[in-house]
Amino acid sequence: MNRGKSSDETLIEMDRTTWSSGEENNGFHAGSDKETFQLENAEVDKQQQSKDSVYFRDGVRRIDFVLSYIDDKDGEKKQDRRKEFEDNLQKAGLELETEDKSESEDGRTHFLKIHVPWEVLATYADVLKIKVPFKINDIPDKKDMPMSWLFTPYRLPEHVMQPEPDYFTATFDKSKTDFFLIEDKETFFPPSTRNRIVYYILSRCPYSKEDKDKKGIKRLLNNGTYTAAFPLHDCRYWTRSRDANCESERYSLYKYWARFTRFYKEQPLNLIRKYYGEKIGIYFAWLGFYTEMLSYAAVVGLLCFIYGVASFDENVWREICDEKIGGQIVMCPLCDKKCGYWKLNTTCSASWQSYLFDNTATVFFAIFMGIWVTLFLEFWKRRQARLEYEWDLVDFEEEQQQLQLRPEYETKCTSRRLNRVTQEQEWVLDQTPADKAGRFILCWATVVLWEMEPYLPLTSKCARSVLSGATVLFWISLIIASIIGVIAYRLAVFAAFASIMKDSPANKLEVVGTFITPQFATSVTASCINFVIIMILNFLYERVAIKITDMEVPKTHMEYENKLTVKMFLFQFVNYYSSCFYVAFFKGKFVGYPGNYAYMFGEWSGLRNEECEAGGCLIELTTQLVIVMVGKQVWGNIQEALVPWLRNWWVSRSARNHPESLYSRWEQDHDLQCSGQLGLFYEYLEMVIQFGFITLFVASFPLAPLLALMNNILEVRVDAWKYTTQFRRPVAAKAHSIGAWDEILNMIAVFSVVTNAFIVSFTSDMIPRLVYKYTNREGSNNTMAGYINDSLSFFNISEFQPQNRPDYDENPDWFNSSIITTCRYRDHRYPPGHEKQYTHTMQFWHILAAKLAFIIIMEHVVFVVKFFVAWLIPDVPSEVKARIKRERYLIQEYMHDYELEKLKIQLSQNGPNMEECICPTTATTPVKLEVLSDCLT
């Protein structure tokens, strides 16, 4: 926005009395006392600089950010952009120092080092409402928990867990610097805050004189003007910095956190937050808490699995394995033409596996997980509230919305309107000389302009939203189409596997022969194909989702991430879970019966709908879940750990041949991988998808939380190792919560109750068994004897249609059509010859009613417990509420005392001969300092 300023004014209007009249000296101002030390002609031989030096050549000014670029064929245009951009950065108060390409190890890369002086830091800390300490916390901590010594092996040293004292904090005010606990201005703001401020300036600084809308480091990176922009790590991760002034926090993080041998230790969250910023700190806090809560679910799930193993001798599937029962039951073909008749006892192994996960404990575990997920979410809210206070993030959301407008939004939205919420005025400041000697006095003339904010017209917003929604629907439809293709594959190859494997030598193997069945081969190959399709579609859609989110032009960074989160999760939800939903709720439910089979695309297609085995579809759902879940976790760890390591090894291969002193701190970091703007987004997405697996389908696989726990123990250290050793230091960012993921987790939690109730009712065989047990009475005892025979219906073989009847050579040797006149199939229908032959019996309707009743009862019980638990556990601990009130009270009290003391000093210094400041009448109005949305106007 052009506000009528002269071209030599800076990005921020600040107290210029500490500067000279505007003369610049190589990007820094001559009026600064400490920072002018050794600045002119300060040259230090690079060979004598520390390998880990994070300072300018003068050894005084800290490097807060680094830009790199390479001269190329389009160099003149890019050079003009860089010159204009760097000039504007200097006018904004930043100090620059360039490392020529001849000094770099590859001989091609220029490095531009950036330092932000105190004046700029103080002004932006004021504008960005950064909280800083003003008093040491005087609220005593609670006493240690009883038996706390038991947790000593899991503890880290206190200097790592608490890298700085606990303070009460208040929003920084540049005009009241003596109110805050400032011992040293150079170290008052930590490096994470300094690099956040620099990036805020870089993202809003223009690089074109003709078009002020062309601005921001992001666009310069995209068009190749700069090749990288990053803050520096403070040292090498495997050794402390040689410079005593460096904190060596990276080394501490690697030593105590990122090493895999520390997997059993607690995380140093305060140090993570201090080094990487609150946004990354919140992620690791959530991941650690999620992993901790998983341990309880894993233990209960393991006990349920052990119960299934221990009670196997009592299960009804023994009748299937019994040669006198299952060996005498002839089953109808599972496909047309290529599938022959088979005996029930051939599914003995599959039935045994099914019982391990389909027993009485299944119902208990499904209910337990419904309550567990509520406890997890409620306790996380309390943990998050504590972190919000400890990390000065209380009431942060409003500041985020007001101060974190995306530069892309400001650039693309050319329309302007009055801010409907604040309706604030903008004060444009101009310095006024107060005496003839030319001395500048702290008096300011003000010009009032209405604050006009950029906005996106409603018609444009609607059009973009419709196009975005249509694109998302198209890709979701594409996923569904691919799933239908996989189902068609299953139907097409099942007959082929049945024919090929009929006399396969693998069937004669003693250990695995009974497991290698056409159903197993079809399920495994289809699951693998489905996993490959998932990975391909996921790769493509990630790029599409980013494009359409950019097209929507979200207003703030938070809004951008939330929109992208919803799109990606909708896609991933369908992509990862659709195959499991098919097996759980569709396979075997719409097959018809012999003589009247249902077909996927009609009878002409020949693709007969799949049937479940005699033991049900639960074991196949378990197989599908394990393949997709484990495959995704293994692939994710390979991508996260191995790929960055290989890339870094390849990029830095030439530097390994150079002397150590040549490979500077900024060159080392330049050769590392960039985590990217959405790096953390993919970490959340991976864990939330896993969360869906262990909640939505956990009734079919009680060991899912155990697998997730083992993966997450590794995941915490992989992510820590990756951020500490393989990635450049990310730009610090604030976040008071996990954002839209919180709502998604709540949605999954509610949906999981429904899915698990349906799995127990319609996928598991639990309800039919219970109905049979309590309706079949022999004497005074309930018994399960005869259940298998009761669950199978009869069909007259002679009534098979020609297209359904097996080919003659497909039937087994033992089959004799003159003796065997009927076959059995899984259903409850009247037998042939009955007046209602092949229609459902009353038992079918009793079982269906029991299933629906179970769903209603389970859902109501779990939801009542969930809501009671949520009501019982407050979101914010009482201790945190007390601390927040205490801090707000102290801020008011100390600020009142500070202002009163300041007024007393001012009155005591006033005398009858004091020279009065001659200012325009408008200067009596309180002045509000503000950072403009554009860098220079």
41-50 pLDDT, tens digit per residue, is 444 445 455 6
Give pLDDT, residue 269: 94
Gap between the Cα atoms of 691 and 708, Å rounded: 8
Listed residue (861, 697, 748, 864) closest to 373, CA to CA: 748
- At 432, which helix (H) or strand (E)? strand 425-433
Distance CA 662, CA 660 (A): 5
- Residue 653 domain-assigned (yes or no): no
In this prediction, residue 8 has a pLDDT band, given cuts at 50, 70 and 90, of very low
Instruction: State how far the Cα of 393 lies from the Cα of 779, in Å rounded to an integer.
Output: 69
Residue 604 lies in a domain: no
- Report the alpha-carbon distance of residue 514 to residue 345 in Å, rounded: 10
- Six token digits for residue 658: 């150079």
**Whether 163 contacts 879, CB under 8 Å:** no
Please give the tally of structural domains in the chain.
2
Whether the per-residue pLDDT at 21 is higher than 80: the answer is no
Per DSSP, the three-state class of 924 is helix
The residues facing 25 across adjacent strands are: 28
Q: Which tens digit of pLDDT belongs to each residue from 533-543?
A: 877 887 888 88
Query: Which run of H or of E encompasses 823?
Result: strand 822-826
The amino acid present at 592, given as its one-letter code, is: G
Reply yes or no on whether the pLDDT at 273 is more than 70.
Answer: yes
Please list the alpha-helical segments (H only) found in 230-359.
249-253, 269-276, 278-310, 318-321, 348-357
- What 211-218 contacts at long range (C-beta under 8 Å, 24+ apart), as own/partner pairs, is 212/1, 212/2, 212/934, 212/936, 212/937, 213/411, 214/411, 215/407, 215/411, 215/934, 215/935, 216/407, 216/408, 216/411, 217/67, 218/407, 218/408
Answer whether residue 74 is part of any domain.
yes
Ordered alpha helix ranges (H), 33-168: 75-91, 118-127, 158-161
Task: Please choose, from the candidates 137, 129, 140, the residue with its C-alpha nearest in 3D space to the C-alpha of residue 170.
Answer: 129
- pLDDT given for residue 781 in this prediction: 57
Q: Domain for residue 649, yes or no?
A: no
3-state helix, strand, coil in the chain (%, to 5): 55, 10, 35
Measured CA to CA, the distance from residue 915 to residue 926 in angstroms comes to 21
- Answer whether 145's CB lies under 8 Å from 139's CB: no
For the stretch 87-132, pLDDT in tens is 999 999 999 999 888 877 777 899 999 999 999 999 998 888 888 8
Sole residue written with tokens 């000296």: 25
Rounded Cα distance between 284 and 271, Å, is 12
Instruction: Work out the angle at residue 343's Cα, subtended by the Cα atoms of residues 342 and 345, and round it to the nearest 5 degrees.
Output: 135
Contact 335, 806 (CB under 8 A): no
The terminus-to-terminus CA distance of the chain in angstroms comes to: 7
**What is the pLDDT averaged over residues 541-562?**
83
In a domain, 764, yes or no: no
For residue 566 the two structure tokens come to 């919803």
DSSP letters, 132-186, are EEEEE--SPPPPPPTTGGGGGGG---HHHH-SS--EEEEE--GGGGGGS--S-HH
Joined together, the tokens standing for residue 433 give 């000389």
pLDDT (0 to 100) of residue 32: 39
Burial 66-80 (b: 16+ CB within 10 A, else e): bbbbeeeeeeeebee
Residue-level pLDDT at 3: 35
Tokens of 178: 């003596």
> Which pair of structure tokens corresponds to residue 616?
């049900």
- Statement: residue 282 has pLDDT above 90: yes
Residue 926 confidence (pLDDT) above 80: no
pLDDT in tens, 637-653: 887 888 888 888 887 76
Query: 540 in a domain, yes or no?
Result: no
Higher pLDDT, 882 or 915: 882
pLDDT at 820 over 70: yes
Selection from 191-195, 410-414, 875-879 with the highest mean pLDDT: 191-195
Query: For 427-517, where are the alpha helices, taking DSSP H only?
Result: 458-500
Which of the pair, 708 or 813, is modelled with greater confidence?
708
pLDDT band per the 50, 70, 90 thresholds, residue 700 = confident
Contact 587, 567 (CB under 8 A): no
322 pLDDT more than 60: yes
> The domain containing residue 180 runs over which residues?
65-275
Contact predicate 381/295, CB 8 Å: no
Quote the radius of gyration of the chain (alpha carbons, Å). 35
Alpha-carbon span 331 to 311, nearest angstrom: 27
pLDDT at 20 over 80: no
Which residues lie closer than 8 Å to 797 by C-beta, 6 or more apart?
817, 820, 821, 822, 823
Whether 249 contacts 274, CB under 8 Å: yes
Q: pLDDT higher for 360 or 230?
A: 230
Q: Classify residue 323: in a domain, yes or no.
A: no
pLDDT of residue 501: 62
Which residue is listed with tokens 């001989």?
Answer: 107
pLDDT computed for residue 381 by the predictor: 93
- What percentage of the chain reaches a pLDDT higher than 90? 24
**Residue 808 contacts by C-beta under 8 Å, 6 or more apart in sequence?**
none
Amino acid at position 934, single letter: D
More confident residue, 916 or 672: 672
**Tokens, residue 755:** 């899915």
Distance, CA of 618 to CA of 759 (rounded, Å): 8
Please say whether the beta carbons of 752 and 369 come within 8 A. Answer: yes
Quickly count: other Cβ atoms within 10 Å of residue 567's Cβ: 23
Q: Is the dihedral of CA 807, 812, 818, 823 positive or negative?
A: negative
Taking only the tens place, the pLDDT of each residue in 823-861 is 999 889 999 988 999 999 999 999 999 999 999 998 898
pLDDT value of residue 782: 59
780 pLDDT more than 90 = no
pLDDT reading at 329 higher than 60: yes
pLDDT of residue 66: 95
Domain final residue, candidates 260, 275, 290: 275
Look at 143-157, 342-356, 556-570 and tell me which has the smallest mean pLDDT: 143-157
The fraction of the chain above a pLDDT of 70, given in percent, is 80
71 and 219 co-located in one domain: yes
Determine, yes or no, domain membership for 395: no
CA dihedral for 652, 653, 656, 657, sign (positive or negative): negative
Per-chain mean pLDDT for the chain: 79
Higher pLDDT, 124 or 782: 124
What is the pLDDT at residue 464?
85
Strands 109-115 and 167-171, bridge-based pairing: unpaired
Torsion of Cα atoms, 505 then 508 then 513 then 518, to 10° = 50
Q: Which two tokens stand for residue 790?
A: 């009761």
Decide which of 465 and 916 is more confident. 465
pLDDT at residue 335 in the model? 82
Rounded Cα gap, residues 347 and 343, in angstroms: 8
Task: Write out pLDDT tens, residues 853-904.
Answer: 999 998 898 889 888 988 888 888 888 888 888 888 888 888 888 888 888 8
